[in-house]
Structure 1
Amino acid sequence: MIVVATAGHVDHGKSALVRALTGRDPDRLAEERRRGLTLDLGFAWCDLPSGRRAAFVDVPGHERYLHTMLAGLGPVRAALLAVAADEGWAAQTAEHADALAAFAVPQLILVITRCDLADPGPAAAVARRELLARGLPAPAPLATSAHTGRGLDALRTALDQLSPAFPASPGPVRLWVDRAFTVSGAGTVVTGTLLGGTLRVGDRVELCPSGVEGPIATVRGLQVCGRSVAEASGPTRLAVNLRRVPLDAVPRGSALLTPDAWVVSTLVDVRLHAPGASANPPANPPALPAEVMCHLGTARRPARLRRLADDLGRLQLAAPLPLHVGDRLAVRDPAARTVLGATVLDPTPARIAGRGAAGRRRATLETATGRPLLADELSRRGLVRSTDLRRLGIPLPAGPPEEEWLIDPEHRRRLAERLLILVWTHHEERSATAPELTREQIRDALGLPDTRIIDLILSPQLREDHGRIGLANAVLPAALHRVAETTRRELTTAGLRAPTAGRWRELGVSAAELRALTRHGVLVRLAPDVYLTPDAIERAIAVLQRLSAPFRVSHARTALDAPRRVVVPLLEHLDRQGVTDKVTDDGHRRLRRRAHHATT
């Protein structure tokens, strides 16, 4: 389906054109029909020559209904601008064109109406010039007359040619509500333009802003152009029956959202665009007051604007909006009726506080493009959860399941360097038997939000042992030389009959010293009171290789001539290192191909 909004000055024939194309009257209110004047949004549809369908959102042209006009243009990506041949470019034509430029509507059909009353040439020439001045597309104008039928076939063809630019869009749903009403026996129904994603009967949707207890609602039914459907994909006009949602909870400007797929925010950093911003070089946007009105989709929000640079600003919204990076807002001066475009750069900005913070934020935003690119977001944020990137509208690479945290390569390098310095400094300053750093200590020292990030920045110079991180090839401190010699001598004598905790106490070797020797690779800790040398473990593996597979713990005990308190943790250690595998539930094992670092 092609969804097209009308635009143009009051009484320039927008609704008459829609009636001529569709056979339906978009003016649904009795007062509209009585006065011949569109006061609210109207809706109609027709089939095109190709069999595709065009749906129209007819907007009012009167200056008093500016808010309603912006609600009609906000959710669409194609517009039909009507200019009357006998009156030409007029005040609200210019205002509507400014709105089209502010929303950056990419597809435009220029229609010169009422050509039965005047030559369309002069109006067409002025209209094209005005569109180009605003940076809008200026297609060849179509001369039409709803009264005589002139040009209607050409207009249908032009509408049909829009469709290749509007493939069905994947991704999350954001349906902006433009009407809400109650149907007897069904409850609340809302209508809107769905640009992307797929909505199905039974889906759960988030309401924004939420006017009900708990923001999640269920889709009870769907209709497209009066026909019930099980699912609908954008772009399309859609009516949605919501289960157990009161009418006053979904006024115009509400949105139905895929849950957890949007940033719902009241603070947003934007790039402001001057009218005609496609000029080279682009002009700076004109001044705006501190108090402005923001429009997105069918929503409007009062906001306070803080200018960070000529074309950069921060908006503090009076109520939340569901946003993605790259969304296009219209920002309006309520008094002067100036309308500017604004591209969302960051819908989750940090508060600006402290000396120099505004300048640093300005420098960060200067290079922001507003395009939802993973590399750009990682470069700017450094470190971010994949779930947060999805909510920002940033496409993630396809492939294996994504990591919880994603990190910019340069940020990774800096953090890895800081971690190495932190561990080295701790190693130099601590006593020989003092424990190495825990993940929690490293998290706090580096200001990391999650200990799992340490996995992303561990370098080959570091190693982890039982949740503590130290240098991989640290030189054994002189204070441990004597105790190291004692343990080697004892273990050489005991073999795989490892000394007990009592025996270590008799030898004057403390538990802290045993742990320190483990960190330096002198010993391998198999259990709280079981330590062996790496050489002893290698010799044990050689013995196990001679056993027939699969073997049991009892077979290993006999072959190794070792007690169960040593053999069981030894085999579990070899399981973790990938040297052995359990092949049955009752403990039968086999040796796998020899793994590297079996004794670490």
Structure 2
Amino acid sequence: MRVLATAGHVDHGKSALVRALTGMEPDRYEEERRRGLTLDLGFVWTRTAPGGEYLAFVDVPGHEKFVATMLAGAGPVPAVLFVVAADQGWQPQSQEHLAILDALGVRHAVLAVTRSDLADPEPVRADAVRRLAGTSLGTVPSVAVSAVTGAGLDRLRAELARLARTLPEPPADADVRLWLDRAFTVRGHGTVVTGTLGAGTLRVGDRLVASDGTTALRVRALQCLQQERTAVSGVARVAVNVHGPLDGALRRGDVLLTPDRWLLTDLVDVRVGGEKTGDLPRTLRLHLGTAAVAVTVRPLGEDTARLTLSRRLPLRVGDRAVLREPGGGRVPCAATVLDVRPPRLERRGAGRARAAQLAALTGRPDGAAELRRRGLVRRSELLAMGVPAPTAPVTGDWLADPEHWARLRERLAAEVERYAEQHPMEPGLPAEAARRLLGLPDRTLVDALARTPGATGLLGKEGRLYVPARAHPALPPPLQAAVDAVREELEKTPFRAPEADRLAELGLHRKALAAAVRAGALLRVTEGVVLLPGADTEAAAVLRRLPQPFTLSEARRALGTTRRVAVPLLELLDARGHTERVDDLHRRCRPETTKDREAAEDA
């Protein structure tokens, strides 16, 4: 299906024309038909040829009082049938409708000069073609027609069919953003909403979220062109029977969204077209899709501004919207969304700096440039902004700009080095402290930085970071002297660990012992029990000379130590695979490996 909106001045024959093209009545209300004036949106359709593609029309009102309704109809539609009457020529609402289409960036159109049976259509056609050519529509095909006599209708159908073939095919797997133009209740079915599905696919049973971004609604049934469907892909006119907590509160301007794929925002930076931002009123209305939202304008650069919206909308980078003064009075202007997650402007001069940044933005989604500006961003958030992810995540869902990531590694290394110098007896910089120092939003980023090839930080087992060269750091002189005293005693009796009072006498409190163990100067057997490095393999060699299996008492005597040391030492030997339990009283040595022999020889 292809969908077009009508556009043009009031009473120029838009509804009569689509009625003649489709054989259907676009005016839904008795008052509309009685007055010959379209007051609301109408929807009719036809085929481009027998058995060919469907062509649907959103018929919009042309009266100046209903420009907001016209915007609701034209906003989600990719092409337009522009109508000018031969007997009246170009009129004020012709100009405003054209300005709106230009602001929306619509590029596909056919011009129909109606009532060609009442006046020479050529002067009006030439004038209208010239006006349209100066906008986003460019040079468009034009046809003089008469809905009364039927003259030119076949040629117009041919031009519309040609236009339909040139319209871009939207992706069927795109995220759904269905702007609602009608919402009503059907007895026995509940709430039904209608809209133009611009891209993506709706299926019966789908879960969607409403305009608040959280309330879930279920698709109970679908219709397209009054036919029941199980699935509909854009572009298409759809009627959706929905069920959920907010279904009765839905109205025009609301939106249904694919869950977890959109960011709702009330603060955006935009590029304004058609007028200098400094000349804009402070308050305007932003029209996007079928929504019309009051906004406060803060000029930044000559053509860039920050908009504060009165309610949140699901916006993406590159979205085109219309800024219009309520009630008219000035020409509508375009707003292209540049950033849906702009930074706060709190410092003096922040506005000028931000204007300089925005000047370089095009409004076309650029993943690499967006990542470069943000440094770090979640992939899901970037996609929700409408920006493709330019690289694979560094960890989890986090994307990182390569240069920013390299700078973070350098800073992390510097912080780890500084901590090691300032706290020589500490077991390295805690990873959580590193996260705070680097201002990172997630602890997993610290872990990823430490694991990055070429990183100078090393993540320890207990969530601390070391510089590799300091994994066994030099001990402060007083601590080194105390360790040397212990070593001297252990060299004489290698398995008689110093008592607690002797350690305290030497100043080897808990933190000092931990530092000595990390430095590789001592072997920690258990809390308060330390031996020389390699004492475990040496003990295993002694125990292998015993008759197997052996008891704790036999092991204690062979090692020449006390029960205080023997019990945890044997548990350490069990854990390291040197020995194993036979029963509650006996152990035996496991077969000696080459590694064990080499360690024993070194000892």
Q: Answer yes or no: same fold by TM over 0.5.
A: yes
Contact 1:12 1:82 in 2 (8 A): yes
How much has 1:511 moved relative to structure 2?
A: 4.0
Distance 1:250 1:115 in 2: 42
Q: Which of the residues 370, 388, 411 maps onto 2:381? A: 388
Describe the superposition over 1:336-392 as per-residue Cα deviations: whole angstroms up to 9, x where unpaired.
232111111122223322322222322332222222222122112111122222321
Q: Which is worse superposed, 230-239 or 384-393?
A: 384-393
Match of 2:369 among 367, 376, 391: 376
Matched, 1:461 2:452: no
Within 5 Å, give how 1:87-98 maps onto structure 2.
87-98=88-99
Contact 1:9 1:91 survives alignment (8 Å) = yes
Once the two structures are TM-superposed, the CA of residue 122 in structure 1 deviates from its matched residue by: 1.8
- The alignment status of 1:346 with 2:339, answered yes or no, reads yes
Q: How big is the shift at 1:422?
A: 1.8
Deviation at 1:410, TM superposition (A): 2.1
- Write the mapping of 1:226-375 to structure 2, written as runs, cut at 5 A: 226-244=226-244, 248-274=248-274, 284=276, 287-334=279-326, 335-375=328-368
Equivalent AA in structure 2 for residue 515 of structure 1:
A
Look up the SS of the partner of 1:43 in the other structure.
strand
Root mean square deviation of aligned Cα: 3.5
Corresponding letter in the other structure for 1:18: V
Pick which of 388-397 and 229-238 moved more: 388-397
Query: Would the alpha carbon gap of residues 429 and 138 (structure 1) be closer, same or farther in structure 2, given more than 3 Å must change?
Result: same
1: CA distance, partners of 2:156 / 2:122: 17
How far did 1:565 drift?
2.5
For structure 1, the 5+ residue unaligned runs are: 276-283, 541-561, 573-590, 592-600
Relative to structure 1, the CA distance from residue 367 to residue 184 in structure 2 (aligned partners, 3 Å threshold; closer, same or farther) is same
- Distance in 1 of aligned mates of 2:236 and 2:515: 67
- Deviation of 1:521 after TM superposition, in Å, equals 6.1
- Structure 2 counterpart of 1:21, which letter? L
Aligned to 1:546: none
Provide the C-alpha distance between the structure 1 equivalents of 2:89 and 2:410, rounded to a whole number of angstroms. 67
Partners of 2:384 and 2:458 lie apart in 1 by: 35
In the alignment, the residues of structure 2 paired with residue 200 and residue 80 of structure 1 have an alpha-carbon distance, to the nearest angstrom, of 30
Please tell me the residue identity of whatever aligns with 2:285. Answer: M
> Mean Cα displacement is larger for which, 497-506 or 194-203?
497-506
CA distance in 2, matches of 1:13, 1:510: 95
1:402, CA displacement in angstroms?
A: 7.4
The equivalent of 2:414 in structure 1 is 421
Q: Counterpart in 1 of 2:203? A: 200
Residues 261, 393 of structure 1: 8 Å contact kept:
no
Distance 1:21 1:8 in 2: 17
3-state SS of paired residue (1:208): coil
Letter in 1 for 2:262: W
Could you tell me whether the CA contact under 8 Å between 2:26 and 2:44 is conserved in 1?
Answer: yes
Residue type at the aligned position of 2:157:
R
Give, in whole Å, the separation in 2 of the partners of 1:254 and 1:405: 31
Deviation at 1:240, TM superposition (A): 0.7
Distance 2:241 2:465 in 1: 56
Q: Give the deviation of 1:428 after TM superposition.
A: 2.1
Contact between 1:189 and 1:242, CA under 8 Å: does it hold in 2?
yes
Could you tell me which residue of structure 2 aligns to residue 594 of structure 1? none
SS in structure 2 of the partner of residue 341 of structure 1:
strand
CA contact (8 A) 2:208 2:258 kept: yes
Deviations 1:91-133 (A, max 9, x none): 1111100000111113222222223333332222211221232
In 1, the alpha carbon distance for the partners of 2:524 and 2:108 equals: 69
Counterpart-to-counterpart distance in 2, 1:45 and 1:526 = 85
Question: Tell me, what secondary structure is at the counterpart of 2:174?
Answer: coil
For 1:123, the aligned partner's letter is V
Does the 8 Å CA contact 1:527/1:569 hold for their aligned counterparts?
Answer: no
- Give 1:505 shift: 4.6
Report the equivalent of 1:4.
4
Paired residue type of 1:351: R
Describe the SS at the equivalent of 1:154: helix
Instruction: Write the letter of the residue equivalent to 1:320.
Output: R
Which moves more between the two structures, 483-492 or 4-13?
483-492
Change (3 A) 1:294 1:487: farther
Residue correspondence of structure 1 range 172-191 to structure 2 within 5 A: 172-191=175-194
Tell whether the 8 Å contact from 1:113 to 1:144 is kept in structure 2 after alignment.
yes
* Residue number in structure 2 paired with 1:575: none
Q: Do the aligned partners of residues 564 and 538 (structure 1) sit closer, same or farther apart at CA in structure 2, a change above 3 Å counting?
A: closer
Q: Distance in 2 between matches of 1:563 and 1:166?
A: 76
| Unaligned runs of at least 5 residues, structure 2 | 540-567, 579-592, 594-603
Counterparts of 1:248 and 1:299, CA distance in 2? 18
- The whole-number CA distance in structure 1 between the counterparts of 2:122 and 2:215 is 53
Is the Cα contact below 8 Å between 2:475 and 2:516 reproduced in 1?
no
Structure 1 residues 247 and 171: CA distance shift in structure 2, 3 A = closer
Q: Give percent identity, aligned residues only.
A: 45
Whole-angstrom CA distance in 2 between matches of 1:501 and 1:126: 105
| Residue 554 (structure 2) aligns with | none
Contact 1:274 1:341 in 2 (8 A): yes
In 2: Cα distance, 1:188 partner to 1:118 partner:
47
8 Å contact kept, 2:395–2:444? no
Q: Which moved more, 1:452-461 or 1:337-346?
A: 452-461
Counterpart code for 2:457: L
Quick one: which amino acid aligns to residue 436 of structure 1? G
Distance 1:16 1:86, change over 3 A: same
Q: State which of 562, 572, 575 in structure 2 corresponds to 1:566.
A: 572
Q: For residues 400 and 388 of structure 1, what CA distance do their matches in structure 2 show?
A: 12
Residues 269 and 312 of structure 1 are in contact (CA less than 8 Å); yes or no, is this contact kept in structure 2? yes
The residue identity in structure 2 corresponding to 1:301 is V
SS of the residue 1:363 aligns to: helix
How much has 1:5 moved relative to structure 2? 0.7
Q: Which residue of 2 aligns with 1:20?
A: 20
Q: Secondary structure at the match of 2:300?
A: strand
Judging changes above 3 Å, is the alpha-carbon distance between structure 1 residues 157 and 525 closer, same or farther for their aligned structure 2 residues? farther
Q: Which amino acid aligns with 1:476?
A: A
> Whole-Å Cα distance in 1 between the matches of residues 342 and 3 of structure 2?
33
Q: Sort the Cα spacing of 1:494 and 1:6 in 2 relative to 1 into closer, same or farther, 3 A.
A: farther
Deviates more, 1:217-226 or 1:514-523: 514-523
How big is the shift at 1:398?
A: 8.7
Q: Number of residues paired by the alignment? A: 542
1:501 shift after superposition: 9.7
